[in-house]
A and B are shown apart, each in its own frame.
Chain A
Amino acid sequence: MRTARKLRVAAPLAAVALALTACGGGGGEERQAAALPENLAVASTVDMTDAEYAEYMKGLEEASKKEGGVIKYYFSAPAASAEKMINLFIEKYPWVKLEYTSGGTLELIERIITENAAGRASADVIQGGPLEDNTLCRDEQLCLKYDPRGERDLPADRAYAGCGCSVGDFFTFHILYNRNKVPQAEAPKTLEDLTDPKWKGRFGINVDQLDWFAGVLAQLGEDKGLDLMKRIAANEPVTYTGTDGLEKLAAGEFDVALPQSATRQVRDMIDDGAPIEIVTTPVTIAQPDMYFPMKNAPHPATTRLYMEWLMSDDWQNKVAEAVVKIPIRPGATIPESAEGILKSELFFETTDNFGDYDTRVRQHQSIFITG
């Protein structure tokens, strides 16, 4: 009973103390987009001379310091991968502080739309893909049209001219197999191989990868692509979501898994001894990593600084090592493991060739999920 009495006294006091602490915690400091001086609020630095660009960058750095040097970054991937990249940005611009908001794609898009509709925009940059481009940029008009200098010499198929974004790097989709269960000579080499009855029930399909599905349809043509997908589905693949497919493949739950991107996670598992091999098909679907500066960014100077850095030699030559992805700029250092990938024909999935999003979702679900 004495303990109960102590609790009755201590509990409210503790609650008050904690409440006072919580009052001071958290974010909640959204503000209206700061106005940049006219000479910095440009839409492109592609055509600037060297001298103009140097002056522009100096002005941006000063403006970034004045606005507090914060970059509010929204990304649906884990903090670890984004922070690795942004820490390199902070190394170059030490006054910058990162505020990272993670979440699923759905939640982040919902937040950005609602924040902007309420006049309390919070995000400076969002990293994503064609889905974000379609929803945030094209439908909601929330993206800043800004072309950093580093985009000036990109080949046409990598420039993404119609996007309210910059594409800093890309990754590719592959077929993976367990070498303890499938000899190399028998491993599937193309998607068509997986329609062979010998693979019935022996391979897994990652149902999270709508981008891959849209990319295959864009590459082959709608009818041919749908036909191939239906024939693959007729072979009764095991459906799985996200990253658990890699573990199941390594464990032997199924012999083959697709589509999987050959990024750091897969490489790390292989380095740890997982019996996984990567197949590069003759045509490889590539997905661009898109970086969207927001029109109502609370920190517009730091945002532009980041976009310039993203497309600069400084970052482009570090992409491979930092995040094991392929830099968008031809000639920049690529991961050793990607050399074979670049020998195949790359087909880039884009917002333009993605197709109608609702239609693709319905097609993908009816073929692979609901049956």
Chain B
Amino acid sequence: MAVLVEDRAARLGGRNTLVAALRGAFAPRRVVYALVLLILVAQVAVPAAILLYTSLKDARPTDADYFSLEFTLENFQKAFASGRLLQVTLTTVWFALGSTLVALVLGTYLAWVVARTNAPFRQLVGLLTIVQMAVPGILIPVAWTFLASPEIGMINVAWRNLTGGDGTLFNVYSMAGLILVNGLTMVPMVYLFVVTVFSSMNSSLEEAAEVAGARKWQAVRDISLPLAAPGIAAVAIMALMRAWESFEIPWILGLKEKIFTYASEIYLRTSTPPSDVGLISTYAVFMLAGAVIMIWWYDRFNKTGERYAVISGKNFASARMDLGRWRVPVAIITFLVLVPVILLPLLTLLWLSLNPYFRQPGWDALTSISFEAYVAAVQTPNMVQGFLNSLLVGVLAAVGVLTLSTLAAWFSARRLAGGRLLYLLTSVPMALPNVIVGISFLWIFLIVPLPIYATHWALVIAYITLIIAVVGRLINARMLQISSELEEAAQVAGASFLRAIWTIVVPLLSPALLAGGLITMVMSFRELQTTLYLAGPHTRTAAVVMFDMAGDGQFSHMAAFGIITFAILLVGLVGYNRLNARMGIEGGI
């Protein structure tokens, strides 16, 4: 440290001014960088290091010989031993690519309609798209079971009644079914990412193309989409990683036809307690390698980041594309897209919640519906506690995630020294399985002599690690669109580094920050696997209460609880949309 200070002093014109040198060494920017780095190392590098280290050990973190210098490749041998790993990996590749494609196409289309066109009811479209996030994750495959099961699915039963045949229109248990359902669940995330990107695009660029003779669709293809490329690339990577580690949908829907993905294979191979952390870590090493490759590719893609900056010191307008005679067809197509994304699953859950067990819609069933499941759901022990805990943890996690993501994105987007390290640290968690995060933090919180275990803080810290990769990509993509000349102008005018970020960058980041906060809140409500390792009797979240219900009983109760959760989160989503509208961000009502 002394050497660094003296070196700096020497470079300050050769005079050994200690105060000036210290002032430079502890410049706000460096202090902030050091703090962010320290926090991210603790949040991310420690669980990742545990993962890598444990994959080479034949001991658990709490064993006496865990820190011995004996390493082994036995876990890797076990991973390959069954011979299924290659087959499962190929299945997962198809599953992940297919889901990502479905989500990208539908999510980008919806974002374009809402942010860039004058389609009717676009505010409602925006709300309905993101409202799917409020449906508890485990209920989506349940709803689709009763929608598209070959034997009892309502769609197939209706098809058979219509055609008089005994065929199946759509089999939800097939690979196509898994891909479609998983892709549909990722549409809101893609939409949120891409709509913030589309919202900030300068329409004068498209107008210039049209003046030069290009048609509207050509302007979209040659101007809008390329400019949105970094954002779309970021969300494609996130969607791919989330599809890769997706568990509920492949497990619940894939079991019947024995379609196993990476996540369900890990579950099968490691279901013997205590958890085989060595084997789980080994599987995760492969995921980490995949994530690093994708991060490297994305980084190369963004090498010339400044050319994607569309928010600059010059004034810009974001006029909508006039669809003309295509307004009504686009509205119809958009509605048809929303049917499988949200309307069908939600209506199915509503139907489930009003019946004691699943029955085909019909007059008899309609005349005997009841609200008993709602009464039972409301009487669920600890329901209010669960919601309040999720709300508290979600808000605190959102503050942490947004602060760390913003600062890391700024250092990275401005290509400052150490920025890429921060970028890497906020990306790595996308490859960390929730089980590893849960077990790592369980161990850390019990070993470290601080009263964190089983408190809200334990969940906040773990959730930041789980969520920062998703939100970090969103904020990074938006940050790339903001030209550095804006905060440079502020600093030239005398503003400090932090003031420039707070008054210039943060307001321009608002759409991404709001979307990131929303994603954090929703994921906090839905997160289960890590929570089961860390929640105590007083910190049970809504997801844990839901998990209890799943073990207890009838789907009607679960569906009712899910509808109640949905209604509560819907209030938050409407608030988010109104806030967007007031801030002039597309997608508001």
Contacts and interface: CB of A to CB of B under 8 A. Distances in A.
A358 interface: yes
Interface in A61-77: 72, 76-77
Nearest to B457: A22
A182 interface: no
A184 interface: no
Interface stretch (B44-52, B141-149, B229-237): B141-149
Interface in B374-431: 380-382, 392-393, 395-396, 399
B343 interface: no
B295 interface: no
B62 interface: yes
Interface stretch (A13-21, A50-58, A279-287): A13-21
Contacts of A18: 392, 395-396
B62 A19 contact: no
Contact of A248 (B152, B452, B457, B545): B152
Contacts of B582: 3
Interface stretch (A38-46, A104-112, A159-167, A346-354): A104-112
B251 interface: yes
Contacts of A365: 268
Interface residues of B, number: 74
A158 interface: no
Contacts of B275: 106, 110
B357 A272 contact: yes
A118 B62 contact: yes
A72 B272 contact: no
A243 B151 contact: no
A135 B532 contact: no
B213 interface: no
B446 A115 contact: yes
Main secondary structure of the interface of A (DSSP, over half): helix
A243 B452 CA distance: 34
B548 A102 contact: yes
A265 B554 contact: yes
B327 interface: no
Interface in A56-105: 72, 76-81, 83, 99-105
B359 interface: yes
Max count, chain A CB within 10 A of own CB: residue among B452, B506, B551, B554: B551
B532 A107 contact: yes
Interface stretch (A143-151, A218-226, A249-257): A249-257
Q: How large is the interface on A (under 10, 10 to 19, 20 to 34, 35 or more residues)?
A: 35 or more
A239 interface: yes
Contact of B442 (A19, A111, A131, A268): A111
Given A110-B533, A361-B272, A371 B258 contact: yes
Contact of A26 (B84, B274, B442, B455): B455
Contacts of B356: 269, 272-274
Interface stretch (B196-204, B487-495, B534-542): B534-542
A4 interface: yes
Nearest to B529: A107
A303 interface: no
B550 interface: yes
Contacts of A8: 502, 506-507
A274 B357 contact: yes
B447 to A, nearest CB: 6
Contacts of B268: 365, 369-370
B357 A247 contact: yes
A211 B540 CA distance: 28
A359 to B, nearest CB: 10
17 contacts: A4-B583, A8-B502, A8-B506, A19-B396, A22-B456, A27-B536, A80-B380, A83-B381, A100-B537, A106-B274, A110-B274, A241-B252, A243-B550, A243-B555, A247-B555, A269-B357, A274-B356
Which 6 pairs across A and B sit closest by C-beta, in order of nearness? A26-B455, A27-B536, A272-B356, A117-B62, A78-B552, A118-B446
Given A101-B537, A106-B275, 8 more contacts: A3-B582, A4-B510, A14-B395, A21-B392, A26-B536, A79-B381, A253-B149, A265-B553
